[in-house]
Chains A and B, each alone.
Chain A
Amino acid sequence: MTGRNLPPLSLHVPEPTFRPGDEADYSSFPVPVAGAVRRPEIGAAPAEMRDLSYDMVRVLDEDGAAQGPWDPRLSPETLLKMLRSMALTRAFDERLYRAQRQGKTSFYMKCTGEEATSIAAAHALDYDDMCFPSYRQQGLLIARDWPIVDMINQIYSNSADRLKGRQMPIMYSVRDANFFSISGNLTTQYPQAVGWAMASAARGDTRIAAAWCGEGSTAEGDFHSAMTFAAVYRAPVILNVINNQWAISSFSGFAGAEATTFAARAIGYGIAGLRVDGNDALAVYAATQWAADRARSNHGPTLIEHFTYRAEGHSTSDDPTKYRSADEGTKWPLGDPIARLKKHVIGLGIWDEERHAAMDREVAEQVKAAQREAEKSGVLHDGLKQSFDPMFEDVFETMPWHLEEQREQMLEERKAAGI
């Protein structure tokens, strides 16, 4: 120690580029050229495609035209179905966010700006592929045509809620749509998806698994356990990281984004990694399709980073203007996923402004009608709509004596108190 002529150590604490009051300026952000990135064979060795973890797969150019080898060449029906699912998801989010503000439920989370990352992925997967979502993948259910009234019942914890009012709003579970029960603990679903995929492979099945987490929660141990297991057993799984830049108020730098990309996490594990423009539905579709084909052909897992932007707050519980620049979203250099897909289909001559406006009206009406239908079964804050009976059920398959005793005690105490 003695005699060293060094400055004192200093601790680096990351700081985002823009804070409230700053004007967001992305002029130094190099927007990658659409169509410029190569598309490897689905069996490519991970070591042969490391560049794809740092580059960015983009298909739609500034004019909305599809470019390059990743163009999935989708049918007009698929393109318009994706567009409609995205529009419905956005309308759903707006309506249910408002319902929370109106006091009809306790909590809500929008996925505005990130619709493509769920919806295009869902279209590229088979319906019986198993999804292990995080909390911002409502687009998966909507893309799989799950009735939105059922989703609203869950959000309201009302008497028609299949989850019996046990879960916070948006923590859906839909086995019939191959959609896993959402946990509020982050990235726990990652090793579970890998395990599901390992089981599918061990049983000689053809179905694969896909998981989603945010860039912030790639810092969780579960993420790294999952990556190790996925690599070791070459599990048929797609591991999606939705890099929406913000984890509540912490920017992606707190998950390591200042030093590298999230797709590059794949390199150390020997997993195929792709970095994709998450606001480009065609790029998301193409990357998911590539990874699904790869998994289904026993070539193993793929980590996909979806580079996108969380256009709204984390949830109804935070105000993003308190921690980030207000115009980041509008100035986001990769645009809006719905606007970009709309431009594409109009360019193809299969869509126009009138039909788009009509669709927006239809999906808004669809959400309103579903909301009315759901409210017939009650909303969270208009009194306890759930029966007390199921409160002690499903802790175990059969109720043990101590839960029977506690249930009786609860009912007796309520009765004694006159409630």
Chain B
Amino acid sequence: MSAEQAAGETRTMNMIQAINSALDVSMERDEGIVVLGEDVGYFGGVFKATEGLQKRYGKTRVFDTPISECGIIGVAVGMATYGLRPVPEIQFADYIYPALDQLVSEAARLRYRSAGEYTAPITVRTPFGGGIFGGQTHSQSPEGIFTHVAGLKTVIPSNPYDAKGLLIAAIEDNDPVIFFEPKRIYNGPFDGHYDRPVAPWSRFPESEVPTGHYRIELGKAKVVREGGDVTILCYGTMVHVAKGVVEESGIDAEIIDLRTLVPLDIETVAASVKKTGRCVVVHEATKTAGYGAELSALVQEHCFHWLEAPVQRVTGWDTPYPHSLEWAYFPGPVRLTQALKRVMQD
């Protein structure tokens, strides 16, 4: 932790405030950083992540855009080519598809196809995940689409402290990064018990966020709970679901918050599974060909002889996100508990 810890004062922040602080600190240090997206300027974003930035840094560095994700990312790539370091916001990850060509065929491949002549150091911030009654167009988790693309990095924080340090590292990274923000935990660590109130971040130590500059290295997972019986691989909101289930079930699980999906911290993953001999992969995204399939395959490749049981996947179902039945879709405590029991039986 010491390398990650920033000196100086801290303040209690929720995830939105931490993300806002990351943008503020970064923009203060580097004039080349520009923020663009739908409603991000005067209004400060629909989730308020960019609040106050336009007032502080001016309209040519923080500005609203037309409702055109293709345009937002295409323009960001062009600005990066000029020498700026754009941080576009896609208002909901569900809206990112019109920008796919610009992300997949352009930003991701620019360094390779031009042999380094041109690069696209952009960080695309986008809220993702369900649990807010957003239906099928405000709930999706499309990270697997991006982890499949050569040349993109995919980062997902699970708490305010990590969100700020990872976002600063993403912005300063010279490769394009998709930064998925689990919007269900913007205000507090939701553990999947939708019938209970969620405690605000201020009650948790991860809300003590340095006000200054610090980075959390991309590609480094974090063991959030040490345990000996089974390894739970998760990220974003699911970290808190896993913590809640482990606390309630009494199973001595090791919980790993991946934080970066590409590049993945395979060493931490493999070391844990070799220790526990069992593995459950949890994500909110649909199951088939999801990132959990990649994790499952990697665990099998790296830890086959240590495995006591088949790797279990706890994921969203392979359906669109249903509005009224979202708690039947969301891979919550009931399903994770059963998966842990299954993996422990074998």
Contact = CB atoms under 8 A, between A and B. Distances in A.
B is a partner of A: yes
A130 B81 CA distance: 10
B81 to A, nearest CB: 6
Given A191-B71, A194-B78, A226-B74, A396 B175 contact: yes
A196 B79 contact: yes
B153 interface: yes
B78 A173 contact: no
Contacts of A191: 70-71, 73-75, 77-78, 102
Interface string A56-80: 0000000000000000000000000
B318 interface: no
Given A226-B71, A396-B175, A195 B117 contact: no
B25 to A, nearest CB: 21
Contacts, number: 142
A85 to B, nearest CB: 23
A196 B111 contact: no
Contacts of B111: 394-397
Given A163-B114, A401-B263, A199 B66 contact: no
A401 B119 CA distance: 21
Contacts of B66: 225, 228-229, 232
A56 B108 CA distance: 40
A331 interface: no
Nearest to A191: B74
B82 A196 contact: yes
Interface in B136-163: 150-151, 153
A188 B65 contact: no
A397 B174 CA distance: 7
Contacts of A175: 114, 117-118
B113 A221 contact: no
A400 B263 contact: yes
A173 B118 contact: yes
B68 interface: yes
Nearest to B117: A175
Nearest to B264: A402
Contacts of B250: none
A130 B80 CA distance: 13
Contact of B115 (A164, A209, A400): A164
Contacts of B112: 166, 394-395
A250 to B, nearest CB: 20
A185 B84 CA distance: 24
A183 B266 contact: no
B115 A222 contact: no
A175 B117 CA distance: 6
22 contacts: A162-B117, A167-B113, A171-B113, A173-B113, A173-B115, A175-B117, A180-B118, A185-B105, A188-B101, A188-B102, A191-B77, A192-B77, A194-B74, A194-B75, A199-B84, A203-B82, A225-B68, A225-B70, A229-B68, A229-B75, A396-B175, A400-B263
- 4 tightest Cβ-Cβ pairs between the two chains A and B: A195-B78, A191-B74, A225-B71, A195-B75
Given A196-B79, A229-B66, A397-B111, 12 more contacts: A163-B115, A173-B113, A175-B118, A191-B70, A191-B78, A192-B81, A196-B81, A200-B82, A222-B74, A394-B111, A397-B174, A402-B263
Interface of A: 130, 132, 162-164, 166-167, 171, 173-175, 180-181, 183, 185, 188, 190-200, 202-203, 209, 221-222, 225-226, 228-229, 232, 390, 394-397, 400-402
